[in-house]
Amino acid sequence: MARAQYKIDFIHFLVRAEALKFGTFTLKSGRVAPYFLNAGCFNTGETVHLLGRFYAQALLDNKLECDIIFGPAYKGIPLAVATCNVLYSDFQKNVSYAFNRKEAKDHGADASKVMVGAVLTPESKVVLIDDVITAGTAIRESVEILKSNGNPKLTGILIALNRMEKTNDGENAIEQIENSFGIPVRAIVNLDDVLEVLHNKELDGEILIDDARMEEIQKYRGQYGV
């Protein structure tokens, strides 16, 4: 099956925005990885809008049904807002968003509320949106937040990049989440897509993944990949 053009465009977009980098990076999990995705690099009107377009396209392409998009604090917040914006402007789909507070609010009428945005109920259909899943810890925390705040129906999880890694217990991180909660986890692109699009191929006059770097990535995958 031919790779969808928007996936190729997304990988080029990640590189040009300097969100996807190659080198040596220590992840939150403690793993030392040869590549890193930083969604915090999307900090202009243009890049946030384009990012929202890719998420919206992937959400529709994967037929993830929802009336609310939940973006966990902090990085998930702009992802949720941007995606809702594009779903309305480009696809005429009016979807709400919600996110959680990490710190308790100590003033105002809703001081005790953890959630901001659309009100969640058991009838709400929610897609959780984030950047990556490595060990799945952050996703599990988000699911617990949703259960404690309206207990909506979680219909899917959408991330930017599937790193295609296993947990510290040796299980496929994505499959473990899917099996634990009975919901699909989808990604705009996965690591195989990235390698296919960038290995020994020039982008703006530069080869980001040459044979030496490819060997580093494959060595890392041999230890942590699925």
pLDDT over threshold 70, residue 104:
no
pTM for this model (two decimals): 0.91
Q: Write out the two tokens for 22.
A: 């190659």
The yes-or-no answer on residue 125 being catalytic is no
Whole-number pLDDT of residue 1: 43
Q: Write out the two tokens for 24.
A: 């040596």
Task: Report which residue type is found at 174.
Answer: I
Choosing from 28, 63, 105, 219, the catalytic residue is 105
**Domains of the chain: residue spans and CATH:** 5-224 (3.40.50.2020)
pLDDT over threshold 60, residue 159:
yes
Choosing from 21, 93, 102, 107, the catalytic residue is 107
Distances (CA, A) of 113 to 21, 38, 196: 37, 29, 45
pLDDT over threshold 60, residue 221:
yes
Q: Of 174, 114, 106, whose CA–CA distance to 147 is shortest?
A: 114
The yes-or-no answer on residue 7 being catalytic is no
Range list of β-strands (E), 56-152: 68-70, 96-100, 115-117, 125-129
What is the share, in percent, of the chain residues with pLDDT greater than 70? 93
